Structure 1
């Protein structure tokens, strides 16, 4: 039964999610603007309530209001003006996006802590995000507790296609009006299912522009890419969202939270997904498992870059065996769990806190959480794509997919670390001697192809660059002899590209660079900058992020600095992506740290010993760089 409430009416009941709890929040000019209902749901980033917008209306409007917590280790003055502006920009972008698969935000404001009507307590320094509220269950509530079966696998894969559609739009340069973004927290608990409108992606507080420059440091266990776990503060890329999409697909198939990424986990998941697919009547369960887990590749460049196409093929694979269950509308909402079962959802976790996959907030998620939904168009699956997906993705051997995950000996550890090292080996980046650098990496879009691959057509969105695998040509012999494949792999030749910024871009005091590379063993990447408007030949070196782990640099990111203050406005700089010996880079870093403060002359000297792979010329304009001058 639905209880209709009016502002301030009836006895307060904090335990009933549809009745007022006696507390209010709002901006300083209207501190009682939102009347809170129920106890709210506490998570890693904050607490969300149902709330009634009062204003001067005759009848209140229902919203969701989320209070945002200060990130662990965040500055005392959080949120900064820049952070507030980021949220405001997101509201404008999402309202202009025009998709029905993402929640519609209303406003962001700073207010005092929740209080009784007319009794404001404390300063207005807590950020609140008000969003649309629509009834519905979370995807976690629908799928956790039971694997997909013949009657549910089609609808669950339809949910995956709808999530993929959202991410495809968020990552798109054109659909986001030149502002491609990443969600950063895709998981079933952030996906709300409406019986008529389908899935909507919610909880947008971690969403960031690609050039925002910060990963935020928060992530959700089971749905986070290994490169994010390795460095939660590094800038996020679309490929990380796509990993999360693949993990959601696994959860929909298996009915449980996926394990943390590792080679052994992928091997186990492959068997489990294949078994569930076979039981559910999927025509080719082996190809189905390979297709699902391709999105969980350790190397971001090996993940399918087109999420909607990947999800469409996935739906086609299951629809081919259960065509009678495919309808043109939104999937039926068929509960997959036992009556009364309370599914679990992993919460966000900070760098220093690991959430258990079975943990869940104490208050009633089923009665409160999923309600932020808009309408969803039906997704059409093309039969030819289905057949191609089944044929082309058939694995050549039982362990073919595992090639995406190197043996533990190649990685140093089967499982990525959960915390960022307090003192990374060497500087994350260094600037000219006068520059001050703090290791908090930024983000850049990498919409380009590496050397040797097809370049994108004008207007085409290339979301995740891919590096072609090394080919092993057949050996040659005398005329008439039998040619056999060589058992010796062709040596890897270093290759690299700079995808962003473009040639001739105007930059401020610092700028972020990103691209792709293919490196032989024992090599790493640096960015070397030279002032072309100066007669001095000096080059200054910064390391790309993760330089000491070259296996992660198939998709790389870094930053460079251009002069001190605004003294170099109007001057041109050339930035080169260079490959250098990893041992030489480590030795230069160790040498630089022998003095206090560190003398990075040995690091800058690497430019004379490296080989240039790509270059960009940029022009300096006034002002400090993004993300607090590429520092925080």
Structure 2
């Protein structure tokens, strides 16, 4: 819980100066185990320092050390044996889960307050410490506070929320947690670090408790991110639906740049914020987010995997279908062995070709379609331009359908090629496709299909609120396909120019 006198954080993220303080902390058997770096960062539950472990290593290891503040109402016997056992259980559970979007917890101990080297006194009152990895990056609060989402940031921000949804789903999974489902209980922007390699990382795990934990004598919570039933009785056991409410409040913050009113998010404010971003259906995305903050816990989404998938689909912006230049000179010169080429049949309308690629067939230059660039197996950054050759039948045009081969989502996400509405120009076609937000999908594999679809069907789709185009892709015939691998990198202008 953030104390009322804790200053709000604004502006750019600045790491603590990498200067040793000359002070140390450690357990009773090694009082100077961790050297503290910089002044520390104050938070609701304690103070976190950048730190390093020397031991007998050639070079020190970078870490984070958090000194927990005694909860209100506790006495000199805090932390109790029960507290220490619970923290050790949490550490073991997090090691078992090994979640990319949760900070790694290495050690929990009680020891004297920070002190100069050799001056630790184990006879003084002990403090509880958590030793974690140090995660570089700004908090989500520092990144978004007072900065409403825009057309250029909405998809990335919702991707961060989707990563938080994945964390909460896996924490609460009985199967994933080997029969030990748990809750985070304090999801909020200040507890989320945005790391360049891993995306969103939840960094405060001191509030973690098993779902079946009984009466909570402390009842810590952050009001703006707390479900109404917890606000009414913060000491009672909590259920996964309470974390789902916090997730929705996090999404609200990412859209508006503001904390939601405690217990009752402002639907109109959320919808206005989404309308300004240019998402295809702001009303549908508003309903989707508000469902997580339903006052009735039983009505909140239970399947966070499906909720995340729909969130990412609904947050895709309506990109203009542009007229682009013709890039390729001749079809025959462009074909290579690395390109999957298929005969272009004259398909019945509405026929679905399925999710798997047909066996490539020999074709002629007058009756084929091909993806010439990028080549099959190429690396791509956040987005990529694709180009190739085709000879469309009358009334037919081309779209590019992308699906993620690594995350299990069978949905195909469609982008029209340039000049899709003038098929006479598609002998040498060009278009763009998108592979995640920022660098959150680095390392994943994708398939991009070139699909022949009806011009009229495509026009109706571009004028609709369908965010994926999967149904449009299903109505056509796959002409060619390539498989691509996502690497780190952002393309200038996000492939928005021809």
Q: Is the shorter-chain TM-score for this pair beyond 0.5, marking a shared fold?
A: yes
Contact 1:111–1:128 (8 Å) recurs in 2: yes
Counterpart of 2:140 in structure 1 is: 139
Question: Does 90-99 or 172-181 show the bigger shift?
Answer: 90-99
Counterpart of 2:329 in structure 1 is: none
The residue number in structure 2 matching 1:306 is 303
Q: 1:155 to 1:258 in 2, by over 3 A?
A: same
Q: Does 1:120 align with 2:120?
A: yes
Question: How many Å apart are 1:311 and its aligned residue?
Answer: 2.3
Is the alpha carbon distance of 1:388 and 1:301 closer, same or farther for their aligned partners in structure 2, counting shifts above 3 Å?
A: farther
Kindly indicate whether residue 409 of structure 2 is the aligned counterpart of residue 328 of structure 1.
no
Distance 1:377 1:190 in 2: 26
* 3-state SS, counterpart of residue 142 of structure 1: helix
Kept in 1, the 8 Å contact 2:199–2:439? The answer is no
Runs (4+) off by over 4 Å? 322-326, 375-381, 386-390
* 1:258-407 correspondence to structure 2 within 5 Å: 258-262=260-264, 266=265, 269-319=266-316, 321-322=318-319, 327-329=434-436, 331=438
2:187 equivalent in structure 1: 186
Cα displacement string for residues 240-291 of structure 1 (whole angstroms, at most 9, x for unaligned residues)? 11100000000011011111123xxx4xx21122122222111211121111
Please tell me whether the aligned partners of residues 40 and 49 of structure 2 are also in contact (alpha carbons under 8 angstroms): yes
CA distance in 2 between partners of 1:147 and 1:93 (Å): 36
Deviation at residue 47 of structure 1 after TM alignment:
0.8
Q: Does 1:49 align with 2:46?
A: no
What is residue 232 of structure 1 aligned with on the other side? 234
Distance 1:317 1:162, change over 3 A: same
Query: Is the CA contact 2:91–2:105 (under 8 Å) kept in the aligned structure 1?
Result: yes
What residue is the counterpart of 1:515 in the other structure?
none
Which residue number in structure 2 is paired with residue 83 of structure 1? 83
CA distance in 2, matches of 1:329, 1:70: 42
Work out the CA distance in 1 between the residues paired with 2:433 and 2:164: 18
Q: 1:218 to 1:49 in 2, by over 3 A?
A: same
On the 8 A contact 1:49/1:66 being kept in 2, the answer is yes
- Indicate whether 1:129 and 2:130 are aligned: yes
Deviations 1:417-440, CA, capped at 9 Å, x for gaps: xxxxxxxxxxxxxxxxxxxxxxxx
Q: Decide whether the 8 Å contact of 1:319 with 1:326 is kept in 2.
A: no
Cα distance in 2 between the residues matched to 1:74 and 1:84: 14
For 2:191 and 2:445, locate their aligned partners in 1 and report how far apart those are by CA, in whole Å: 21
Q: Distance in 1 between matches of 2:445 and 2:232?
A: 35
The 8 Å contact of residues 27 and 124 in structure 1, kept in 2 or not, is answered as no
Q: Contact (CA 8 Å) 1:101, 1:376: kept in 2 or not?
A: no
Structure-2-length-normalised TM-score: 0.62
Q: For residue 380 of structure 1, report the CA deviation from its aligned partner.
A: 9.1
Distance 1:319 1:164 in 2: 18
Task: State the distance in 1 between where 2:108 and 2:37 align.
Answer: 19
Task: Indicate the SS of the match to 2:107.
Answer: strand
CA 1:308–1:214: 2 relative to 1, 3 Å: farther
Structure 1 residues 107 and 378: alpha-carbon distance in aligned structure 2, compared to 1, 3 A threshold: same
| 1: CA distance, partners of 2:49 / 2:181 | 29
Tell whether 2:21 aligns with 1:21: yes
Q: Give CA-to-partner distance per residue, 1:517-545, whole Å, 9 cap, x none.
A: xxxxxxxxxxxxxxxxxxxxxxxxxxxxx
Match of 2:258 in 1: 256
Q: Distance in 2 between matches of 1:316 and 1:379?
A: 18
For the residues of structure 1 that align with 2:243 and 2:16, how far apart are their CA atoms?
35
Query: Aligned in 2, Cα 1:27/1:124: closer, same or farther, shift over 3 Å?
Result: farther
Separation (CA, whole Å) in 1 of partners of 2:243 and 2:445? 20
Contact map agreement 2:280 2:467 (CA 8 A) in 1 = no
C-alpha contact 1:101 1:200 (8 A) present in aligned 2: yes
Question: CA offsets, 1:310-341, max 9 Å, x none?
Answer: 122111112152587984245269xxxxxxxx
1:109–1:380 Cα change, 3 Å: farther
SS of residue in 1 equivalent to 2:39: strand
Q: Secondary structure at the match of 1:319?
A: coil
| 109-118 or 121-130, which deviates more | 121-130
Inter-CA distance 16–148: structure 2 relative to 1 (3 Å threshold): closer
Change (3 A) 1:184 1:379: farther
RMSD, aligned α-carbons: 3.0
Structure of higher RCO (CA pairs closer than 8 Å, 6+ residues apart): 1
Q: Aligned in 2, Cα 1:23/1:327: closer, same or farther, shift over 3 Å?
A: farther
1:110-156 deviation digits (Å, cap 9, x = unpaired):
11010011011343621100001121111111111211111110001
Distance 2:32 2:55 in 1: 9
Alpha carbons of 1:129 and 1:213: their partners in 2 closer, same or farther (altered >3 Å)? same
Classify 1:248/1:311 alpha carbon distance in 2 versus 1 (closer, same or farther; 3 Å).
same
Aligned to 2:366: none
Distance 1:332 1:141 in 2: 19
Structure 1 residues 93 and 234: alpha-carbon distance in aligned structure 2, compared to 1, 3 A threshold: same
Give the whole-Å Cα distance in 1 for the aligned partners of 2:194 and 2:45. 22
**Structure 2 residue matching 1:123: 3-state secondary structure:** coil
CA distance in 1, matches of 2:261, 2:211: 27
* Contact 1:35–1:52 under 8 Å retained in 2: yes
TM-score (norm 1): 0.49
Report how far residue 308 of structure 1 moved: 2.7
For residues 207 and 199 of structure 1, do their structure 2 counterparts lie closer, same or farther at Cα, with a shift above 3 Å needed? same
Confirm whether residue 109 of structure 1 aligns to residue 109 of structure 2.
yes
